Every structure is written in structure tokens, then in C-alpha cells.
Structure 1
Amino acid sequence: MSKKNKRLVLISMLLALMPMLVFAGGGQGEAAAETSSNFNATGLPILNEPVTFRVGIIDHWNMPDMNEKQMFKDWREKTNVVFDLIQMSGQEANTKVPLMYSTDDLPDAFINIGASNNNDYGAQELNIPLEDYIAQYAPNVVRVLEEMPVAKKWATATDGHMYHLPYINLANDSRVVYASFIRQQWLESLGMDIPTDLDEFYDLLVAFKTKDPNGNGKADEIPFSVRWQDGISGIRDWFQPFGTTSAFMGAVKIRGGEVFATTLEPGYKDAVKYLHRLYAEELMDPEVFTYEQTSVNELLSPKLNALKKALAYGNY
């Protein structure tokens, strides 16, 4: 398959499948461009014979190998489009992505590279404008952009081209962005229930620290820890039970038409005092502010459930 046709297949694949998953119910578009005999502009499979595409994906969450995700396996089976996903952290991408562009050692596409980067590289004619492909192959995207013109505006660069699809989320009020997890084995070992308020949470952490819930005869439990890294809020979510947010999540708020600083709220000070107490009494992981993500993953490993240190409760 020629480079041009391979590029066409990949773009049509991303435009057709991704909106289908998010904006289900659209019809199939008609292909106008000449392509190789291996490419089907409508219906499935998209390719008659499998073809592999390299896709760089910026992974802000330190995910396991995304090539093993069921979603990509299902796509491969239904479409014959095989993704070879090249994962890199946000920090790695800061150096690797510019190097890829400068040396012309590029994958076929990027996911999550960022709108500003897309537009900057597009202005240098290093990225491909998508609007013509959207019109040909992505009726769902066309419909959404017509219904939400502001989304099209956000995704349009200053040169008038679209180099990426807009991210649209209409469910902010009902989605759970982060959650905390507790080791059920430790609760069962101590005959305790999941805490329902901050006082019970404190008592639970004390029990985890002093009553050997992992049963190895050593005081090596870590009652409480959190994750930090690209896009992960760490300890900041724990300001919210006190009716406020950390400065990172919004230092300035508007209430009743007046602007105020969240750091001056009583709830903010109460949160700092509570978290300081946990840290001072060694109920919080002493390395919580310096961990690399791989270290947290090691703590979460089932192999550590009854050995050495083990995570009890944490933002994940």
C-alpha cells in the first residue's frame, strides 16, 4: 500500500471509529478519493488485509501496555487496522515528539499530543489538515460540528485548517474523574467497615498502622498514599471533603458575585490541619510527595499484599 493510501486509511479509521464510539448513530459516508484495492471506504472491514500503523500516544496516566487493551484488539478484529501504539509519558513527549518531527522519524499519527502542538506543526505543513477527510469519512463528526459550532471553532487553527478533533464532554456533572481504593483484605482482617466520615477514616488508618492487617508480624503497612504525576491530582482531591479545593485546582473562586481566594476559606485551613496530622502521625506515606509513578505501581502489586509495604487507601 502506498504511503498516501496508508495515510488515507489511517485518517478515515480514526475519524470513523472514534466518533462512532462517542457519538453513536451516524450514517456511513461515501468515499470520493482513489485508494488501493485493499481499502473499503464504507462498511467493515476497512481493510481487506491487515496493515499495521504506528501511532504515538501521550500517556499521562502511566497505563500498562495499551496494545493489550481490549478496545484495540476489537478494532483490529473488525477492521484489519492494526495499531502499533508507541506510549510515552507527558514528560518524555516534551523531548521525543519535537525530535520525531525534526528528524522526520514520525509515526503515522499521534493521539493526545495537544491542540497547540497540532496547530503549530500544522502551520509548518508537518501535519495534515483533516477537514476534507472529515467531510468524506466522518458523518458523525460533521453532525456534531454543525450542532456545536463552538467545538469547530476550538478545533480550527488560525490558518483555517483543522489538524485535530475537538474533545467534547457533556457529562461533567455526572462523571467520576478520580476515585479512592481500599484494601478489602485489610478491612476483613481487622473486622472493620469502610469509613463514612473523616473521623472514621482517621481511626481506620490508625488501625492499619498498629494492628498488622497484612498479618506478617511486622509494622510495615502504609495506611494511606496517593498518586502524583501527569494529570493525576494526588493529595489535592482530599481538600474537597472540607468544602474547598486546593490552590492548584482553583485558587480563585466566584461566589455571590464576589471573588475570593480558596486558601483563605476555613475549609482550606481545616484540610491542611487534617492532612498534616496524618503525615505527622505517620499515617500517610512519608514518600508521598516524591514518588515516581512506577514506585506507586509497585506498592499496588498483589505480590506485596502480605509482604513489606502495601497501599491501603489512595487516590488513583
Structure 2
Amino acid sequence: MRHLVSMNDLSKNEILTILDQAESFANGEKWSFTDKVFAANLFFEPSTRTKTSFEMAERKLGFEIIPFETSTSSLLKGETLYDTVKTLESIGVDVAVIRHTQDKYYEDLIGNVNLKIVNGGDGCGQHPTQSLLDLFTIKQEFGSFEGLKVAIIGDLQHSRVAKSNKDALTALGAEVIFSGPREWFLGENEESQNYYEIDEVIETADVVMLLRIQHERHVTKSFMTKEQYHLQYGLTVERAKRMKNNSIIMHPAPVNRNVEIADELVECEKSRIFKQMQNGVFTRMAVLRTLIES
């Protein structure tokens, strides 16, 4: 694996291998590379979980982290992303984790740079390591994906989490269904055939995966209030009572409490939201190890 920019880069076997490696790290396995590895994290969008999770994963693996702040870089002087990455490569950086507002920003880099690229999220495109940590969390809970029903609910059109997860989950044997405002729907044939109202999916889904409203990606202002969204499309306390006994709640976060999910459900017995964050470190360790060893 030369880079990881999309879940489409990975075969089913490669996904499962990364998940197995993440499990090993979660169980305490240690790993270090014989040569010193230098990593840089380039985040052009705000991030708490992904950025700090990668930094923790890099430190646990013994990487040297080269500080990089977009607000003080030469990008403000007009330097292109390509030239910035080539500069990092020239000074000896081995891995660059990049989050950018532009969809498929990595197309200008792949094939033209020699360091490893990990996509930390591109616009409304892909977020592969979030997908992998979601898959790891589901596998921990259920053991496999065959026969599971996963409901992805929310701002589907603008969510890179939804796009990254739907194909991977399907390839692994899960049934993926969708819900949320039709105005924010992906609109593709596959999703149209698997679209349901939220009250139709709550009682049958094994995994209820909620999505944040991506206000920063909307061209026009939201057509409803937070309260209206919660009542129409959110996981309310009343809806949660109708979930299957062994079902779980997931969310990539940050969470808008009392919008996509009721405040008291964020840390309820069914919630795996903070477990996902914990698993993000082990999953990103597995991705970084795989890249360095390949």
C-alpha cells in the first residue's frame, strides 16, 4: 500500500488485515521500525479527533513528528499544496497526513511525490481512516459484518463518512440503509433504493450511525431549526427505546447534542461514540505501520 487516500484503495482482504492489526495494537502489541520515521500532519480544516488521534498513533509507534501549522506556513504567501508537500519530502518527511477542503486534493500529489500520503479527509469526498475505525468498532462488537444491518442517518450528501463507509460495509457483507433529510440525500440509484424514514430503520438496524450536519459545506442556510431536525431526523430518547436489544449507536463526532442525538444518549449503554475515538488511535497505528512496511 503506497498511499491511503480512499477506501476504494483497499481490497476486502486489506481492510480485514488492517482491522486485525488494529486489534493487536488494542491488545497491547508493540512495534517500532528500525529506521527513524518522520511524520507531518497538515490540517487545513479544524480537527480535534483526527489530528490528535494521528499524533498519538505516531508517538506510540515512535515516529518523530515535524510540527506544521497551516496558519504560519508559506501557503499564505501563495505556495501550492504540491510545493509544500515536495518541500516536506525534500527535508526528509516520510509520511504526510493531510486534511483539505478540496475534494480529491491528492490527485495532484499521487505519482508525483515519494513520501506516503494519508488522507485525513477531503472536502465532501473520503475519510478512509474514520471508516476503518468505524469498521473496527463494529467488528469488536459483532465479530463479523455478514448479515448486519447498518443505518447511516443524517447529512448524507455532504458526509465523507457516509461515502467512505457504504462501499466498505457492503463489500464486507453488511446491508447498508440510509435515512435523513431528502434535501441532503446522495441521490444515487443505490441509495435511493435503500432510503427509509428514520422510524422505519430504528427497530431493525444493528448499528445506528448518526452524522453531523455539515453546516460548513452547505451553500444555503439550513431549512430547519435544530429542534425541528432533532424531532424529525434525530435519535430521540423515544426512538432509542425502540432499538434492538443488542444494537449500538455510533457517531463520527463532533456531536451536536440534542440535534442528531439526544444529550442523554451520547454516553448511554448502547453508545460506542467514545469507543470509536479510542479505536481511532489503534486503527491509525495499523494504517501507518502498513504504509511504512510496504
**TM-score computed with the length of structure 2 as normaliser:** 0.28
**TM-score computed with the length of structure 1 as normaliser:** 0.27
Query: If you compute each CA radius of gyration, which structure gives the higher value, 1 or 2?
Result: 1
The higher relative CO (CA closer than 8 Å, separation ≥ 6) is in 2
